[in-house]
A and B are shown apart, each in its own frame.
Chain A
Amino acid sequence: GAVVSQHPSRVICKSGTSVKIECRSLDFQATTMFWYRQFPKQSLMLMATSNEGSKATYEQGVEKDKFLINHASLTLSTLTVTSAHPEDSSFYICSARDPGGGADTEAFFGQGTRLTVV
């Protein structure tokens, strides 16, 4: 089945630096990808919708200048956490659906990226 791959799986960075997370659809083209954030023992929270060739759509309360999203191609979306702070430490997950998957298409999720800001 369709696969979404996320990289890196784990990253530790210093406070004030930027971190880039990549999300790739491996065997389908995704014009739209989604970025979620998950804090410990909480559910996934939608951060933004990444659109190929256009600006991302951010959910209320998510700072677009802090969480930069670039959907450069039909198979790659990147999330850059800029000027990271300890409170940005979280589990970041991307998702995409195969537009050619038919009416029953399920959503595929990446493996997630554990970001720790020290």
Chain B
Amino acid sequence: LAKTTQPISMDSYEGQEVNITCSHNNIATNDYITWYQQFPSQGPRFIIQGYKTKVTNEVASLFIPADRKSSTLSLPRVSLSDTAVYYCLVGGSRQAGTALIFGKGTTLSVSS
């Protein structure tokens, strides 16, 4: 599995756009990039997944450059409720029998 590197923590204010970048220099050809969000005392929740270029859903956008050695999760206009830990995961198999291996994650703190 490709190793990922994310900032340990980030601070932001309500209404700002937050971009969290994840480095994955050893990403393999068949690897996908997935981001999860975790609130205190809760299980992680899927945010977004992508392979290349840009993916957007109702919650976030994921930007992946052509070399795929990094990716950026973009959260538009964050609110206090976006305070959480964000995990970037890289892996090739999205099959049911494959476990997710989590790195350290980025703790995002949003203030008013």
- Whether B95 lies near A107 (C-beta < 8 A) is no
Contact among A43, A104, A111 for B103, CB-based, below 8 A: A43
Q: With A and B bound together, what is the CA distance between A103 and B97 in angstroms?
A: 12
Pair B96/A93 contact, Cβ less than 8 Å: no
Binary interface encoding of chain A residues 36-53 relative to chain B, with 1 for a CB under 8 A from any of its CBs, else 0: 100000011110010000
| Given known A-B contacts A44-B44, A112-B42, A99 and B96 have beta carbons under 8 A apart | yes
A105 interface residue per 8 A CB criterion: yes
A96 at the binding interface (Cβ < 8 Å): yes
B81 close to chain A: CB less than 8 A: no
Cβ of A7 to closest chain B Cβ, rounded Å:
13
Residue of A at shortest CB range from B97?
A32
Are A103 and B102 touching (Cβ within 8 A)? no
Q: Tell me the nearest residue of chain B to A45, going by C-beta.
A: B102
Known pairs A97-B96, A105-B96; A91 contacts B41 (CB<8 A): yes
Chain A residues whose C-beta falls within 8 Å of the C-beta of B41 in the assembled complex: 91, 112, 114
Closest beta carbon of chain B to A116's beta carbon, Å: 12
Interface residues of B in 43-85 (CB under 8 A from A): 43-46, 49
Known: A44-B44, A110-B43, A114-B41. A31 touches B97 (CB 8 A): yes
Kindly list chain A residues whose C-beta atoms are within 8 Å of the C-beta of B101: 46
In angstroms, how far is the closest chain A Cβ from the Cβ of B69? 22
Within 8 A of B (CB), among A77-109: 91, 93-99, 101, 103-109
Question: What are 17 residue pairs bridging A and B, where the CB atoms are less than 8 Å apart in the complex?
Answer: A4-B43, A31-B96, A36-B102, A46-B99, A93-B43, A94-B43, A97-B94, A97-B98, A99-B95, A99-B96, A105-B94, A105-B96, A106-B46, A107-B100, A109-B44, A112-B42, A114-B41
Which residues of B are interface residues toward A (Cβ below 8 A)?
34, 41-46, 49, 87, 94-105
